[in-house]
Structure 1
Amino acid sequence: MLIIYVVAFIAIFYFMAIRPQQRQRRAHQALLSSLKKGDRIVTSAGIYGTVKRVEESIVVVEVAKGVTLKIARRAVAEIIRDSSMARATAPETAPRRGKAVAEIEESTDEDMDMEADEDDESAAAEAPRDTPPKSVSKTSRGGRG
């Protein structure tokens, strides 16, 4: 009876872990073999670019006008075939710096002091009155005497 459980466990492990991994590896190998100049790609690090040259183990990718990167061929995660799919998977552009600065409310030192005083007052009101305040000795901070 124990042998049946062991065989069943091995079969489940094979169909749940090993076989899907082999299928993914074959699909990735097919993707890498179909890689050609002009393909839009995404690397495993999330870098978008256009293939300029394909060598045996290196791919030269243009990520911006005049900016090229040499990456390992196995680092290509996806080929973007359709332009509508490229727009859907491309990251959103970062907001302009000027807008973010305008939205930040500036606070002065006086505002911060007033907020700290209010926090101290609310903490004092919430603390029990019959216990004395705790004192901190030099040894309680983790140092040696």
Structure 2
Amino acid sequence: MNFFIQSANAAVNQSSESNSYSLIFMLVIFLLIFYFMLFRPQQKKDKEHKSLMDSLSQGDEVITTSGLLGRINKITKNGYILLQLNDNAEVFIKKDFIASLLPKGTLKSL
């Protein structure tokens, strides 16, 4: 009779060990999926935006995140841009709020 009890205890101990390993394995798989679905694409997007910020120069036509279209008149050292919206209006905006570059001549075609 003791033989059956020892066998039962051994089976319980083995299943709890395998459950802890499978839990750790599932957690690692979940973290990998989370990394490749969320963190990596966001890092890539941030890197592309930083390269866009570094490539801006005077005379470029841009669109801002708020939807303003304009031509860059001046880029300051502290991260601001003087954006010419039309012949009469100019605004200072933070350099980070540039969404994308527009092809040359876009503003004239509007």
Question: Taking structure 2 as the reference length, what is the TM-score of the superposition?
Answer: 0.74
2:101 matched to which residue of 1?
79
1:37 matched to which residue of 2?
58
Which 4+ residue blocks in structure 1 deviate beyond 4 angstroms? none
* Partner Cα separation in structure 2 for residue 40 and residue 23 of structure 1: 24
Instruction: Give the alignment of 1:51-90 within 5 angstroms.
Output: 51-56=72-77, 57-83=79-105, 86=106
Q: Which runs of 5+ in 2 are unaligned?
A: 1-21
Specify the SS of the correspondent of 2:99: strand
Q: What CA RMSD, in Å, does the superposition of the two structures yield over aligned residues?
A: 1.4
Q: Which runs of 5+ in 1 are unaligned?
A: 91-145
- Letter matched to residue 71 of structure 2: T
2:67 matched to which residue of 1?
46
Structure 1 position 81, deviation (Å): 2.6
> Percent identical across equivalent pairs?
28
Q: Tell me: higher relative CO, structure 1 or 2? Use CA pairs within 8 A at least 6 residues apart.
A: 2
Structure 1 position 66, deviation (Å): 2.5
Question: Taking structure 1 as the reference length, what is the TM-score of the superposition?
Answer: 0.56
Specify the SS of the correspondent of 1:2: helix
Contact 2:61–2:104 (Cα < 8 Å) also in 1: no
* Partner Cα separation in structure 2 for residue 23 and residue 82 of structure 1: 26
* Partner Cα separation in structure 2 for residue 63 and residue 41 of structure 1: 10
The structure 2 residue matched to 1:5, chosen from 8, 26, 46, is 26
1:18 matched to which residue of 2?
39
Bigger fraction of residues in helix = 2
Structure 1 position 82, deviation (Å): 4.6
Aligned residue pair count: 86
Structure 1 position 17, deviation (Å): 0.2
